[in-house]
Structure 1
């Protein structure tokens, strides 16, 4: 957990991750606590696998309250901040202090993300130093890639897509917008879980129901 090794590229990946027992509470009407915890672990494993297969990714870091459960080869970063933007900002500073020059911030709940989509986002960030992938509703931000040090305020939360674009413009950074189906689809609401069931042939739903 000290190396954060990826596939050998020069881009760092940062995945913010809540503890499995506390995440995805908006799914409570359709999944019990055990099912939600298993879903969090399954989604994280999918994202981690995609990152490890992305050639541009050289290091993977996960910021989480308890990094003890993380797999080998992943750098665990702890942070006690309650605000997600403060947490990401501190993690970005730590990665910059380790020599990181480019950082991809990717959430842990993208069940369909593919390595080629991650590569496309990283490539898009090269000219202007900033690329963003919106969610499928074009309200939230599902991925950011930028040069370090960041020198801007993260805006994750309500309407973060527009806020991140405005922040980049205020700093004179030309933002490349990358729209890819796997990057755009995250699982937050019951309707997202229903869509996931349709897309994956109910695989995730069955896993969460049985705990396998």
Structure 2
């Protein structure tokens, strides 16, 4: 199995957080989240090859540190779906392509290797099925695991889970939705960040949580919106 981690330019990442974080803070936050994600991905023994797709120089350095391949995004196309389709085509053209591919995103600092192993175990119950870990709102596709030879067309964007479900149905492929707290908590909005800060989880996302604390972002967010923070439902994470 190959695991693919697409990473946009770190400077342009997390634009929806521009109302509460500066450009430099958004870049640093994204890099720390990616480091936490890669630490967990590299601990999944079922993965034969970890592949980062990005043009950002920091991504290339992270690939070296975590013994991953790094393919330049600019050589594969424009836009997430087109880039990933080209990535899958290139993987499929290898002399010995993997049977399955998993696509994970870099804004899931609370994910755990255990959750990914559970997702893989579900997929192995029927090797031709597609398994998608959705977000906490039930509409996104935070992790997609599927057979490479009979893969679905990728439809990332708003309502991607419904779009991917339709693609699987069109190809007569079974699709199962997987629910796991760490895989569901992507950090896209100020509300997501407030929930993460309010949770104060110390045994997950060590790089991310340390950065939020040492940079003063956590304190600033809590001071700015104490009532809103109290109303935000913290991420549900099974402590391990």
Which residue of the partner structure matches residue 69 of structure 1? 61
Structure 1 stretches lacking a partner, 5+ long: 1-10
Q: Could you tell me how far 1:84 is from its partner in structure 2?
A: 0.7
CA distance in 1, matches of 2:167, 2:215: 38
The answer on whether the counterparts of 1:70 and 1:76 sit within 8 Å (CA) in structure 2 is no
The answer on whether the counterparts of 1:92 and 1:150 sit within 8 Å (CA) in structure 2 is no
Which residue of the partner structure matches residue 116 of structure 1? 114
Tell whether 2:104 aligns with 1:106.
Answer: yes
Q: Could you tell me how far 1:93 is from its partner in structure 2?
A: 1.6
Using structure 2 for the length normalisation, give the TM-score: 0.78
Query: C-alpha offsets along residues 62-120 of structure 1, whole Å, 9 cap, x if unaligned?
Result: 11124533332110012322221111111112222232221010000101101111111
CA RMSD of aligned residues (A): 1.7
The alignment partner of 1:110 has SS state of: coil
Report how many residues are paired: 200
Q: Could you tell me how far 1:204 is from its partner in structure 2?
A: 4.2
Superposition misfits of 4+ residues, deviation over 4 angstroms: 207-210
Tell whether 2:210 aligns with 1:203.
Answer: yes
CA distance in 1, matches of 2:154, 2:120: 18
CA distance in 2, matches of 1:41, 1:175: 32
Which residue of the partner structure matches residue 177 of structure 2? 177
CA distance in 1, matches of 2:151, 2:102: 15
CA distance in 2, matches of 1:149, 1:168: 13
1:208–1:108 CA distance, 2 compared to 1 (3 A): farther
Which residue of the partner structure matches residue 96 of structure 1? 92
1:209–1:62 CA distance, 2 compared to 1 (3 A): farther
Which residue of the partner structure matches residue 7 of structure 1? none
Give the structure with the higher percent helix.
2
Q: Could you tell me how far 1:161 is from its partner in structure 2?
A: 0.6
1:174–1:69 CA distance, 2 compared to 1 (3 A): same
Which residue of the partner structure matches residue 24 of structure 1? 14
Structure 2 stretches lacking a partner, 5+ long: 202-208, 218-240
